[in-house]
Amino acid sequence: MKKKPPALPLAESVYEQIKSDIFDFRLLPGDRFTESGIAERMHISRTPVREALHKLEKVGYIQVASRSGWNVRAFDFDFFENLYDVRLILELAAVRKLCDIEVDPNLQELKDAWLVPATRRQRDMRVVAGLDERFHEALVDATGNPEMTRLHRDVTERIRIIRRLDFTQQRRIDSTYDEHGQILRHILARRRHQAEILLRAHINSSKAEVRKITLHMLHQARTTLTAKPSAAARRRKHAA
């Protein structure tokens, strides 16, 4: 019998739930909620809720609206583009290091996931989003520099809210497989210049796509709520 994975600490569980509500546009930019409202809805004390909200504030998803209230931050694309720029700098540095080291970097995990025939490609959006995130994390991890890894994971956590939207369209899933495969082959062959060019184009393309998709999905969510006020009321009650 398989063991169940250990339960998340309560504050982490609250954090993940609210983050999921934001990611899936159940909570929209500007929506207001309270610490006590969340605690009541989840049937828990306010202490883990407070911890979760402060963590969400730290990574930039929410902000204080009043003494006891919070709201979802507006999408600041300049903020996200700055984070994408930091991510690009870190990953380009990782590629340079991986191409210059004498021993082969341990990238077997990535070869198994991305250098596969089309018939073995994943199609589930959430699965591919997780694999994509792991691809870029693994490149940085393989450098053996713990500070680079720490900084990169912090940036990854902050941009996850929009980055995962890159895989809502099948063509983007196929493009990601193709581009990751090419980048990986160039790194393994020590073709640093080609790997850097492809990585830069890959990240910039993703950045442009998620901006466009985010704006479209926000418009779609707001249109739906305007057309169905009862649904809006239910959602706001859910967030209160």
Instruction: Give backbone dihedrals phi and psi of 34, rounded to 5 degrees, phi first.
Output: -125, 155
Instruction: Enumerate residues 6+ apart whose C-beta is below 8 A from 82.
Output: none
pTM: 0.78
Average pLDDT over all residues of the chain: 88
169/197 Cα distance (integer angstroms): 24
- pLDDT tens digits, 91-124: 999 999 999 988 778 899 999 999 999 999 999 9
- pLDDT tens digits, 129-153: 999 999 999 999 999 999 999 999 9
Q: Where in the sequence of the chain do the CATH 1.20.120.530 domains occur?
A: 77-216
Give the pLDDT of residue 225: 67
Which top CATH class is 77-216? Answer: mainly alpha
Sole residue written with tokens 């694999």: 131
Position 180 confidence tier, pLDDT thresholds 50, 70, 90: very high
Q: Where in the sequence of the chain do the CATH 1.10.10.10 domains occur?
A: 29-74
Position 63 confidence tier, pLDDT thresholds 50, 70, 90: very high
Of the candidates 73, 75, 74, 65, the one whose C-alpha atom is nearest the C-alpha of residue 34 is 65
Lowest mean pLDDT among 45-54, 125-134, 146-155, 227-236: 227-236
Selected from 3.40.50.300, 3.50.50.60, 1.10.10.10, 3.10.310.30, the CATH number assigned to the domain covering 29-74 reads 1.10.10.10
